[in-house]
Amino acid sequence: MNNYKLLPALVSILQTLNLTESSKQLGVTQSAMSKILHQLREDFHDKIIVREANQFILTQKGEKLKEKLPALMQQLDNLYIPEVMEPSLCKRKFILASSDYVAQAILPTIISNIEVDAPNVSTEYKLWHKENLHKFAEQDIDLIATIADSIPDNLYGKMMAEDQLAVVFRNTHSKANSNMTINDYIEGRHILISGGGDKDSSVDRTLAMMNLNRHIYTTVPFFQAAIELLLKTDTMLTIPLHIAADFAQNYDLQIRRLPIDIKTQQYYLLWHAKHHQDPEHRWFRDICFLLIKAHLKRTIEHGMKLIHTYK
């Protein structure tokens, strides 16, 4: 059988045993119906229905088809029905990638929300590096929360927020009682975070265009490590305002505006096109989008209140 479009006609013939009635059901002429039956007989290598006196009866093959075909047709029809996500029945593992900050500050909330409705869902978290964006399709990742300039081809996504970079240091820093000038920034000792973000590379590119550079005092892989070091040394850290604000709620830190002009950073939630119509994936990404966006909005607003300016 190589013409699956004929299957509905076959189901009708098997049920009615009457070509006239089947032609009416399918809205075709009786002549067209006769041609369809002829094609079906060739495809199945069987008469399917044969005349006996004034009626048709099914062959043995016809009997088997009548028994099995309706269920098979229903299964095929079901493939076209949009799937409904039932969280309590979902046993899928979802993989989210972003910076270690998201893992620390937002991931626990995401997982606790998932646990309420979908206790059998599991998650895996991976550190994300922006340079991997062009080969996203090759990676086993469902979602990434990242800085991007736009949504790349073959990906779907939503922008969650825009944020600016800010300078952070401890309350006992030598510049704690004054504004941050470009000279203060250049002469300062900087901590650089290397893992999963590359959130201030634009700073060094902008400084280079000004024939300036800053002194990288030390490099660490994680935000928490940078904050702990910041609290114990006369150093400064350049990070997104929302992250600075979040840490400032728990540590004695001061926040200053970055003394160079850099465009705001756009935060996106991105996924591959192959997942776009998947109802389970849609459920997962909707949870992640709402929670990450809410966190960004709250911490950015808080950060704007914490930026200190001396007159």
Left (φ > 0), alpha (ψ -120 to 50) or beta: where does 39 sit?
Answer: alpha
> pLDDT tens across 193-206, in order?
987 555 567 899 99
Query: Where is pLDDT greater, at 117 or 66?
Result: 117
The whole model's pTM is what?
0.74
pLDDT cut 70: percent of the chain above it: 95
Residue 65 backbone dihedrals phi, psi, to 5 degrees? -65, -40
What's the rounded mean pLDDT across residues 135-159? 86
Average pLDDT over the chain reads 89
Whether pLDDT at 93 is above 70: yes
Tokens of 279: 């109802």
Q: How confident is the model at residue 26 (pLDDT cuts 50, 70, 90)?
A: confident
**Does residue 145 contact residue 94 with C-beta atoms inside 8 Å?**
no
What's the rounded mean pLDDT across residues 251-268? 93
Buried b (16+ CB within 10 A) or exposed e, 177-193: eeebeeebbbebebbbb
- Position 311 scores a pLDDT of 47
- Position 176 scores a pLDDT of 86
> pLDDT tens across 222-244, in order?
999 999 999 999 999 999 999 99
Strands 122-127 and 165-170: unpaired
- Position 309 scores a pLDDT of 64
- Position 291 scores a pLDDT of 98
- Burial of residue 217, with CB atoms counted within 10 A of its CB: 0-12 exposed, 13-18 middle, 19 or more buried: middle
Domains of the chain as residue ranges with CATH: 4-79 (1.10.10.10), 93-310 (3.40.190.290)
